[in-house]
Every structure is written in structure tokens, then in C-alpha cells.
Chain A
Amino acid sequence: MNITKVISILGSIALARIFLLLVSISLFVGSVFYNLNSEVFVPLNTLSLLEWLQTYGQNNLAYTWWFYLFIVFMFLLGMNTFFCTLDRTWIILSRYNKLKKDNLVLLLLSPHIMHFSFIILLLGYFMLYSFGINSYNNILRKDCPVTIHETDIKISLLKFSATPYKSRLYEGLNGKFIDPRIDLEISEGDTMERKVFGLNNPVYFRGYSIHLNDFTPKSGRSMSREISVNLTIRKNAGIPLFIMGIILFITGTFLYIIYNFKNTQRGDR
């Protein structure tokens, strides 16, 4: 059997259908087990995949067995997608000149753009859960800067400002700060940068992303007037990969919709 034949079998649609269905079933089963004991899964927000598998995963197999199967199925699906994309993209590109005349190259490639970005997304998730620096609950106060672990990067709080919110729907939200503006000074050696950040508005420095997790005072009426900011600090190569995968996948999806629309117009099923 030659290599082309092997790639063709490994990347076959029949295998893709089997793996997609298995992944889907494992996720539905997972949602049931998550509902039965969510406390086992919540630590996945902070632990790495390997740490979680060795601790919570192993100690609660009655609830987590599906997750191990899910990982295996996802790996198989990822491999199948890789070979499928390799095989079909090669076929399309080898007919490039003929397809170019009908403006079909990009449209025919659209499912494979989605496949390719799916692989990038999988890699992104894998890196996100396996490597990188994740530091939680870094409390920053005016007189108490935060230093990122094993670096000289120092984060200082300069200013906190916020306008009380007036809700038209929930009285309980009146007076709360929903959009605080926090001025930071981030320094490393002689380099110093001033940055503004807030909720859902992280700052980036030397590959680190710094997120606002929580803050006080929460409202203008707060008893505590001391300004305190809780930071989540992350550095992970999976994040740019993940974002790239998202952009590519959406592009592929829209190209596929156009392709399908053109097909429908031609009267194909």
C-alpha cells in the first residue's frame, strides 16, 4: 500500500463520521456527569490538564471516566482531520488551473480552512491546558506592588476611578461600579510603561496578559474605601494560537456558506 492510499484511508469521511459521533456522545454523557458533580470539574479552570487528570480525574473516576474517552476520541478526530485536510487540499491544489477559471479554489478549500483551523484550535487548547504560566489572586494595592513570579516585572497601581451605574432594570445594581478604570505602571529594569485596564479589558506586557479578576470598592457606598485589585496573570502560547484558530474557522465557515448557497442555486442537494 503506498503512502497516498494510507493517507486517504486515515483521512476518510467514514472515519470522521465515527469520531465526530463518538466525541459528541462523550460530551453529552459528560454534561450529565458534570451536572451530577460539578465540583470535580471546576478546578479545570485553574489546574493544568495533567495535574487535573492525576488528581481530581483519577480520584473521581465514577464521574470523570468520560473525559478520558473524550481526550482519546478528540485525538483520533484531530489525526483524521489532519490527514483528510492533507489529502483533499492536495487534490484541490493539483487541479488549481482548472478550478481557478471557475473561481472555485477558495470556495472548495473552505471546508479545509475550517479543518485546518480546527487543528489549530485543538493545539491551542492543548497548549493552554498543558503549558504556560497561570498566576491567580495577585492582590495589588497602592502601597503594595505585584512582582510576576521569577521575573523582574513589577506592576504598580497608580489610580482607580469609576462611575456609579444606574440600572433601569435591577435596583440591586444601582450605585455599583461596572466599568472601573485602573491606571497601572508596569516596569522591568529600565523599561516602564503606563497602561489603563479594567473589567474585560486586559493589558499585555512582554507576552503576559494581565486580567482584572475582582476589585474593591465595589460601589460608591462601599464601607471599605481601600482600593484593592485582584489580578490574574497569564503567559501562554496557546492563546494566540487559539485566537488565530477562531478567526480562520469563522472565515472558513462563511466561505462554506457561500459555497453551499452557490450549490443550492445550481440545484444540487
Chain B
Amino acid sequence: MRGNISLLFLAGSVICSLSFLVSFIRSGRVRNYIFAGGVLCTSVSCIIKIILNWPLVTLFQESYLISAACGIISIYMIFFTGFERVTLLLTGLTASVSLFSAFFPADIYVSFIKTNTIFAHIFSVFSSGARAAYMVSFVLALYGVFGKNEESFKSNLLRFNTNLIIAGFAMQCIGMFSGAMWSFVGWGNPVQWQSHIFLAMAGVWFYYSWYLHLKIGRKTENSKLFKAALLGGLLTILFTYIPDTGKFAIPGGM
């Protein structure tokens, strides 16, 4: 069963990559629907895994959840906002993150029984959603910094990007505090010194607190905010996404 779930995720990643390649030939509806199909596959694969392993949490499932969440945020942007221009970058991000997660899996360990609490599930899902929001904000910032666009478009993009970061920050707060509650009910201590990712996640949280304080200052230029979001996304990828992936393996044990 686990092999089939991995294959479904791989299929989704390949479809997302296909939509990215289609972007170079033609844009528009066809590309968007192919992309939506890919995201559907990766998301369904994550949901099936959560349901089948309930009430336990699958260890190191976060890289898959991040890929699916990147796709869902991208779909929202492509279909429901006026940011058609960034579609190439969004499909590119989702495709590369999904493929990387599929070929470098870390979910090879059996769940441990202390994950049997709703706090563990909230922690896993929300901290992944937050990282996905920061990673999408990275590609938007990339466009904001290097793209040649009129100022009004950049202002709109920055407003959306900041809202995305705020949403990510809120999700990270919920995830972090759920993690603390899980740690308290399970081990009697709200902090568990078990993995370096927890320090990096705290670092990301303080970084985006800094970003939000930067945003409060009305004098801060748009370009500076884009650069700050760019660096934040890069730190998120390097310190909290890549360490959550594993060694190279063929998905589904093919």
C-alpha cells in the first residue's frame, strides 16, 4: 500500500513537471488544468497516507505535505487572483519540490506510538503549510526583485506576498504551539531537544517576525521587502525543507 501511495505522489510530481514544461510552449487553460491534476494527485496521496495511518502520524511526511501545500497555494494564485504572470515560477517551484520529495524520501521509519494525539497531527500539517507559504513567497519575491514589471503590479504582488507570509506565520504559530502541547502531554516538557530542525524552525519564526516588523515601518521600500522575503524563503528551504528529506530512493521501490 505504501508503495502505491508513493507512486501516486510520483505521478502527481511528473504531471506538475509536465505542466511546467507546457508553460514554455503555450500558457493558458490547458497548462493550468494539467497542473491542477498534478496537485490533486500529490494532495490525495498525502490525504490517503494520513487516513490510513490514523491515529498515528507518519514520520517525516512533511516534505510531501509541503509539496502538496505549495501546489494548493499556487492553484489559488493561478485560478483566483490576477497573477497569471507568475504561473511559470509557481509550477516550477511545485514541480521541483514534489520531485525532490518523491526521490529523496525520509518517511522510511515506522510511526512511534507517542504520535497518537491530535496535537501531533496539527503540528505536522500546520508547520508544513507554513513552510509552503514561505517557499511560495520566495518565488513571488524572486519575481518582484528580478522581474521587469510596472510599479502597480509589484505593489499588488507585494501586498499578496505579505498576506501570504502573515498566513504562513499564523500557521507556524499554531503548528509550533501544537508541537509544544504535544511535547508537554507526551514528555512533560514543552520543548524537546531532539532535532536541529526545531531550532531552524524557531529561527525562521523570528526571521518572519523581523519581516513583519520591517513591514510596519512605512518608510521601508518595496524592493527591500521583496529582498527580505527572498532571503526568508531561501533560509526556509535550506534549513527546514531540505533537512526533512532523506537519501535518494526510487519511489514505490520500483
Contacts and interface: CB of A to CB of B under 8 A. Distances in A.
Contacts of B213: 13, 16-17, 20
Interface in A10-36: 13, 16-17, 20-21, 23-25, 27-28, 30-32, 34-35
Nearest to B206: A24
A185 B244 CA distance: 42
B1 A169 contact: yes
Interface of B is mostly: helix
Q: What DSSP secondary structure best describes chain A's contact surface? A: helix
Contacts of B203: 24-25, 27-28, 30-31
Q: How large is the interface on B (under 10, 10 to 19, 20 to 34, 35 or more residues)?
A: 35 or more
Interface stretch (B96-104, B143-151, B192-200): B192-200
Interface stretch (A143-151, A221-229, A253-261): A253-261
B53 interface: yes
Contact of A178 (B56, B155, B218): B56
A44 B193 contact: yes
Contacts of B190: 124-125, 128, 239, 242
Interface in B1-56: 1-2, 49, 52-53, 55-56
Contacts of B181: 243, 246
B56 A173 contact: yes
A234 B113 contact: no
B151 to A, nearest CB: 12
Contacts of B49: 169
B249 interface: no
B189 A34 contact: no
Interface string B144-169: 00000000000100110011001101
Contacts, number: 154
Given A24-B210, A31-B199, A168-B1, A173 B111 contact: yes
A41 interface: yes
Contacts of A269: 155, 158-159, 162, 218
B173 A128 contact: no
A243 B178 CA distance: 11
A249 B173 CA distance: 8
B187 interface: yes
A45 B193 CA distance: 6
A267 to B, nearest CB: 9
A264 B188 contact: no
Interface string A215-240: 00000000000000000111000010
Interface stretch (A90-98, A101-109, A187-195, A196-204): A196-204
Given A169-B53, A200-B185, 7 more contacts: A20-B206, A128-B189, A178-B55, A242-B180, A243-B181, A253-B173, A256-B166
For the complex of A and B, the 8 pairs showing the least CB-CB separation, nearest first, are A27-B203, A24-B206, A20-B210, A31-B199, A200-B117, A31-B200, A34-B196, A211-B188
5 contacts: A30-B199, A38-B196, A199-B114, A254-B170, A269-B155
